[in-house]
Amino acid sequence: MAPTPTRRAALAATAAALAAPRLARAQSDYPSRPVRIIVPFPPGQAADLLTRLVADELSKRWPQRVVVENRGGGAGAPGVEAGARAAPDGYTLTTATSGTFGINPSVLPRLPYDAEKDFAAISGIAIVPLIVICHPAFAARTIGELAAQARARPGAIDVASAGPATAQHLSAELLMLRTGLRFNIVHYRGSGPAVTDLVAGNVPVMFDSVASALPHIRADRARPLAVTTARRVPQLADVPTLAETLAPGYESVGWTGLVAPAATPPEIVRRINAEVVAILREPAVVARMTEMVTIPQPTTPEEYAAFIRSEIAKWREVARAANVRLEG
């Protein structure tokens, strides 16, 4: 005879009660084996370097090692999908980025993961500031002069980007959406070729990361016009923000953080969060991240979840307005 609904409920409650001590013990012993962090990009990129910095510090604090596993390709989607499908036990984490979590949901059809529903946010790691630069011979010496030229000749000024749907590309699209300015976006296969062409004078203006642009600025091979962060960056304290000059409220940055599969126990999420936040506040780590021209972003899980939601909403608006889509 099949058990009645009441008996089924009683059996379920009994099973849960028996499992609770084991679950509590597993959580209190965490981590009892190595933890891996999936980085959905090849080694050497900013997200990889920042993740490895945190992973190394976690390995010093925990009795178990934290290892980084790179899974590049497909605009980061395969690596993120692997993180979403991992066991929700805290032993597989995923590096979240502005591209994979902020932009991909709006530009990639058939995305094999849901950036909001498939993950539990842990904490931000770092903000990557972007900047508008120009060739030293370009007539505009300030961001205001660039805007004046763009208004006088809509669509005539070439602006380099690191490729379609990259943070650099959508930062330019966001500026055009907020100000009504019009540029001609020239896509390159990455930031390196784009900045090489700018330094050579083949393209006059570019949105780039501050980290990539800074050596050229210091060598007078490029002129800084404005940064895309809400506040000025310490490495270029004299360079204004787009928000204070052209577009109040404007902010567009690259970012890197940590997430876990959605059903990961909250106690484990908070344990990892506490460790990551403490690491990101250590003076030596802050100094290292400043050298990398990034800004530490320690948050609570709730704050990081809200941040990811806001980024998805912002880039969805831009992608729709600019009709930005990628095949994949």
Instruction: Give every strand in the sheet of 223-227, ordered side by side.
Output: 184-187, 158-161, 205-209, 130-134, 223-227
| Residue 31 vs residues 28, 86, 105: alpha-carbon distances, Å | 8, 16, 32
Instruction: Give me the half-sphere count of Cα atoms (radius 13 Å) on the Cβ side of residue 76.
Output: 27
Predicted local distance difference test score (pLDDT) of residue 27: 61
Q: Rounded to an integer, what distance in angstroms lies between the CA atom of residue 226 and that of residue 292?
A: 19
For residue 270, what are its two tokens? 């908070």
- The partner residues of 133 in beta bridges, in order of sequence, read 206, 224
Neighbours of 82 (CB within 10 A): 17
What is the pLDDT, as a whole number, of residue 14?
56
Cα separation, 163 vs 99, in Å, equals: 12
- Specify the pLDDT at position 327: 78
Q: Which pLDDT tens digit goes with each residue over 149-185?
A: 999 999 999 999 999 999 999 999 999 999 999 999 9
Adjacent-strand bridge partners of 187: 161
Strands 130-134 and 205-209: what pairing? antiparallel
d(CA 127, CA 95): 13
Angle, helices 46-61/266-280, rounded to nearest 10 degrees? 100
pLDDT, averaged in runs of 10, over the chain (328 residues): 53 51 62 98 94 98 97 94 98 97 95 97 97 97 97 98 94 98 96 96 97 96 98 96 97 97 98 98 97 96 98 97 87
What is the distance between the alpha carbons of residues 7 and 3, in angstroms, rounded to a whole number? 6
Cis amide linkage into residue 78, ω under 30° from 0: no
Q: Where are the beta strands (DSSP E) in 65-195?
A: 66-70, 92-97, 119-128, 130-134, 158-161, 184-187
The pLDDT score that the predictor gives to residue 19 is 46
* Neighbour-count burial of 309, counting CB atoms closer than 10 A to its CB (0-12 exposed, 13-18 middle, 19+ buried): middle
pLDDT on residue 20: 46
Q: Give the chain's radius of gyration (CA, Å).
A: 22
Q: Which domains does the chain have, with CATH numbers?
A: 34-127+253-322 (3.40.190.150), 130-245 (3.40.190.10)
Is-contact 264 271, C-beta < 8 A? no
According to DSSP, the β-strands at 254-261 and 92-97 are antiparallel
- Model confidence, pTM: 0.88
Task: Give per-residue pLDDT as tens, 109-151.
Answer: 999 999 999 999 999 999 999 999 999 999 999 999 999 999 9
